[in-house]
Amino acid sequence: MATSASLVTLGEKTLPHAADPSLFAYCPSMDLVALGTTDQQVLIYRLNGQRVYGAAQKAGKLVVESIRWKPNGQLLAVAWSDGTVRLVGAESSKIVHQFSTGEGVSGITCMGWGSNLTSKTSSLKESSSSWSDLLDSDTLVSETKSVLDLPRDLSMIDIERSLPKLSLLAAGGSLEDVFCSRSSLDSLSRPFDPKDNDAVDVMVVGTKEGHIHLTIYDSFVIGSFSLPPIRSSFTSHLVMHSSHPRCSSHALLVKAPDSDSLSFAALDLRFISATSDYLSLLASRSTALQNLLRYIHQVQILIVNEWKSTQDLPSKFLRNVNEELADKGKGNIVQALYHSVATGHTFPIVKEWLVDELSERGHKRWEKAVVTGLENTRRLVHENMLPALERCSVILSRFSGIAKFQSSNDTLGFSSHQISLIVDTVACLHLVSAKILLQVVDELELFGAFSSWLRHEIDKLASDSSVAAKDDELEKEASIEHSKVLLYLQNCMTSSPLEVYLGDNTSDEYKDGWQQVEENLPIYEILDKQLRKQESRLPYLKALPRVELLCNYLNKQAKVVFSQIANAEKRNVIFGTPQQVGVIANEKLIDMRLSTTGPATARACVAFVPKNMPACIQITRVHLSIDGGLSSVSEMDSSTLKLGSGTITDVRIFGDTLLIMWELDGATTLLTIPHDTSTAPHATEPGDFHIHYSQHLETSTAPTPMVLTNEDIKERFGKRQIPTTGSFVPERMEVRSGSLEMRRIAVLGKDRIHYKVLGLEMEEEGKGTGKGKEKGKGSEGDVEMVAEV
């Protein structure tokens, strides 16, 4: 008889709005519960019920269709009915990335997120190991250790941690919030951890159109693929996804829209096992580079806006007086002020403008607009743009090294020449940023002198001319650097030199500049020559030094490389032929687990309630043989259990155990039934329970069930009563694996406004479950990743 284990209530919550049972997920690493409500909100709560995050529906009539935690629990993916997927940081509660699964997507059917170990690992030892430990480990001669690979280990050296952190951007406007908080910005600019080289995160999103969208490392898109057709239908959609860290083949459950027949299909991701040694480094740094380019784009917009703010207000002040001077034939305001500085005489029109229209108040506004805008421009270039470009250079140097030293068997999708062209564009942005920084410093100095003179001139003209000037006023006038005032009037007053880099382009100018850069030749030398021409007041390509054009070209170059890397990996995505596993009663009463059974074998276990059999549970096992990253179905077997006269309300596969919420006479119990007796060393003892599997036949009816009475169920499977205080009746459960003290189940009530978090103390089951074997782990002790509709 199974040893009973209590289900202790660790936390509970009453929701403000009813939850959708299909949008209910427990964080795998933290005590966080994510759920979606019927009014299209996504909420995250702590164990104590405190709200961590909340997001309302997007514009229009879009609905949330799936939520899924990243395997490490750091991100929550939220899929919307238009095919958009948002990634929300668990700690920052900010949207760190957003991507679309394709055009014309009418809805999401399933979203899965798993982590796969790669076959390549660094030969570097842990830094904490002593020299004696290294000698004792016989690393150099042991055949079980990784082969020493100097180029690979050099590529894993952590350089980015030595770089200063990226500075935050000011919040507001149309900027992405992710760059406005320290936690979210740090998560985006996270340096490459050599430990990450051992694993690759894979997101699988299924659409109603019968496609799946593959993404690795959060936001690096591999592409979209059509699901293989099922025999009875030309189209199918994804129902469930499962993966195992040690298996590059993923398990998919698919079905036709108008059928209850459920089929299994393998998804072989050969790029995990058969492509470059540097897959993890490439994918993670590609994601980091994408985020850096987003950051640079936002910084470029802010720089241009700040510079334009220095031009808008002064141009308004100057516009009226220029019109009056032109009408009187007195030239323009620059000439008039130049005359005032040089001679001390002020035209009556200018005097009236300075005293009556501009005055002290207008001067303060002018000074604040120009000084604030120029200082912000200087800060953005110095603290944001240049550090981001430095990080780009570091990442591109990794790409360049990998491209130069890749083996002949590697298919990276890009060449060292392409990377050198991107490095050249980054160098152009470095040059232009340095020019902007120098010009801003000069302009601030010149404007300071002009502003002092202008204020002195306003005060002098507004005062009584018959009164002698005071000593302090004479000292102020003597301290004014008139040469700098004249330089400002001549060079900056109405036409800032920064316009060369930050001004707007006409369509013809932009077209000429774009044609120049699209010749796919290094442009640094060309840019330098054009800037020399500009400084010599000779005709030059006006669009080429503009930051906007250079940033757009950098983005275009990077997208080409990203797409080529994705296409190289896309060729190594292969689908297996769908195999029917049974006819289901409800898509919500399904679970699947993929586990490894050997170095080149795996097994997918599918549990579901068969159609028209609400008291039965069918288990179908698909055995896979894997050779060179390609899987094939070697065998299928199945079995059916009839669980007395009760009703199955939910089912989960937890390691080698089936967790079933079983409702009988108004009470709900959690049944733990061993489904994999091959891993139980005591399964042959008299009285042990084990499921008998027979060859699976593709029919519309389930195998003849093994009938268990209500008394058998209560006696054999260690009844665990789920607390049902008040009106709480369980309907849906989510299970979190982990160490014994960290195992949890979150249970949503049928009223859908209450949920409870219960401790799942899976003690050593006696007979029939394998004494001494922890539940929740596979044959190799690895936790699988499962995603469902």
The pLDDT of residue 484: 93
CB 755 within 8 A of CB 17: no
Is position 163 within any domain?
Answer: no
pLDDT tens, position by position, 420-469: 999 999 999 999 999 999 999 999 999 999 999 999 889 888 886 555 55
Instruction: Give the per-residue pLDDT at 582.
Output: 92
| pLDDT tens readout for residues 582-620 | 999 988 999 999 999 998 999 999 999 999 898 999 999
Q: Please check whether residues 624 and 587 belong to one and the same domain.
A: yes
pLDDT at 683: 42
Q: Which residue has the tokens 């894997």?
A: 626
| Among candidate residues 62, 87, 76, the one with its CA nearest the CA of residue 33 | 76
pTM greater than the 0.75 cutoff: yes
Report the number of secondary-structure helices (H) and strands (E) in the chain: 17, 32
Token pair listed for 555: 């983005």
- Do 550 and 606 share a domain, yes or no? no
Q: Check residue 219 and give its pLDDT.
A: 84
* 554 vs 140: which has the higher pLDDT: 554
pLDDT score of 147? 59
Confidence tier at 411 by pLDDT (50, 70, 90): low
State the CATH number of the domain containing residue 110: 2.130.10.10
Task: Decide: helix, strand or coil at residue 25.
Answer: strand
Sheet holding 220-226, edge to edge: 108-117, 199-207, 211-216, 220-226
What secondary structure does DSSP assign to 32-70, as a single string? EEEEEETTS-EEEEETTS-EEEEE---SSS--EEEEEE-
Average pLDDT value for the chain: 84
Q: Nearest 10 degrees: CA dihedral of 354, 355, 357, 361?
A: 100
Q: How confident is the model at residue 782 (pLDDT cuts 50, 70, 90)?
A: very low
Burial of 392 (0-12, 13-18, 19+ CB in 10 A): buried
Confidence of residue 194 (pLDDT cuts 50, 70, 90): low
Residue where a domain stops, chosen among 555, 570, 585: 570
Question: In the predicted model, is pLDDT for residue 232 greater than 90?
Answer: no
Clarify whether residues 307 and 427 are in a common domain: yes
Residues 747, 617: one domain? yes
Identify whether the C-beta of residue 190 lies closer than 8 Å to the C-beta of residue 179.
no
Range of the domain at 152: 7-123+136-156+192-274+573-788
Alpha helices in 189-260 (DSSP H): none
Q: What is the pLDDT of residues 683-726, one digit of tens each?
A: 445 456 788 899 988 877 778 889 998 888 888 886 678 887 77
Would you say residue 292 lies in a domain?
yes
Residue range 669-682: average pLDDT?
72
Domains identified in the chain, total number = 2
Residue 133 has pLDDT above 60, yes or no: no
Across 482-535, where does the E strand assignment appear? Answer: none
pLDDT of residue 668: 85
Could you tell me if 237 and 283 lie in one domain? no
Q: What mean pLDDT do residues 19-36 have?
A: 93
Q: Are strands 601-608 and 590-598 parallel, antiparallel or unpaired?
A: antiparallel
* 557 lies in the same domain as 678: no
Beta strands in 186-295 (DSSP E): 199-207, 211-216, 220-226, 237-244, 247-255, 261-269
> Six-digit token pair at 702?
């389930």
Beta strands in 327-430 (DSSP E): none
Q: Please name the residues in contact with 566: beta carbons below 8 A apart, sequence gap of 6 or more.
A: 220, 221, 222, 223, 413
Closest C-alpha among 157, 85, 250, 330 to residue 631: 250
pLDDT at 407 over 50: yes
Q: Which stretches within 356-415 are classed as H helix?
A: 359-379, 386-405
Residue 776 has pLDDT above 60, yes or no: no
Q: Which two tokens stand for residue 302?
A: 């802010």
Structure tokens at 152: 């690979």
59-113: pLDDT as tens digits: 668 899 999 999 989 899 999 999 999 999 887 778 888 899 988 899 999 999 9
Type of residue at 343: T
Please give the backbone phi and psi of residue 612, each rounded to the nearest 5 degrees, phi first. 65, 20
Q: Which of 570, 602, 620 is the last residue of a domain?
A: 570
**Last residue in a domain, options 570, 586, 605:** 570
The pLDDT assigned to 780 comes to: 40
- Asked if the model's pLDDT at residue 470 lies above 80, the reply is no
pLDDT score of 406 more than 80: no
In a domain, 165, yes or no: no
Contact between 547 and 426 under an 8 Å Cβ cutoff? The reply is no
Instruction: Tell me the per-residue pLDDT of 615-635, one tens digit each, with 9 for 90 and over.
Output: 999 999 999 999 988 999 999
At residue 765, the 3 state secondary structure works out as coil
Name which residue leads in pLDDT, 680 or 743. Answer: 743
Q: Is residue 515 part of a domain?
A: no
Q: Do 257 and 299 lie in a common domain? A: no
Residue 746 shares a structural domain with residue 598: yes
Name the one residue in this structure whose structure tokens are 């403008």. 353
Residues 559 and 585 in one domain: no
Please check the confidence at residue 270 and state whether its pLDDT lies above 80. yes
Structure confidence by residue, pLDDT tens digits, 645-657: 989 999 999 988 9
User: Is residue 529, in this structure, part of any structural domain at all?
Assistant: no
Q: Which residues contact 724 (CB under 8 A, 6 or more apart)?
A: 667, 668, 730
pLDDT of residue 779: 40
201 shares its domain with 225: yes
What does residue 355 show for φ and ψ, rounded to 5 degrees? -80, -45
pLDDT for 628 equals 87
Return d(Cα 351, Cα 465) in angstroms, integer.
13
Residues in CB range of 192: below 8 A, 6 or more apart: 156, 158, 160, 281, 284, 285, 288
Q: 194-203, 361-370, 585-594: lowest mean pLDDT where?
A: 194-203
Residue 318 lies in a domain: yes
Q: Are residues 392 and 485 in the same domain?
A: yes
Residues 496 and 353 reside in one and the same domain: yes
Q: Is residue 691 part of a domain?
A: yes
541 within a domain of the structure (yes/no): no
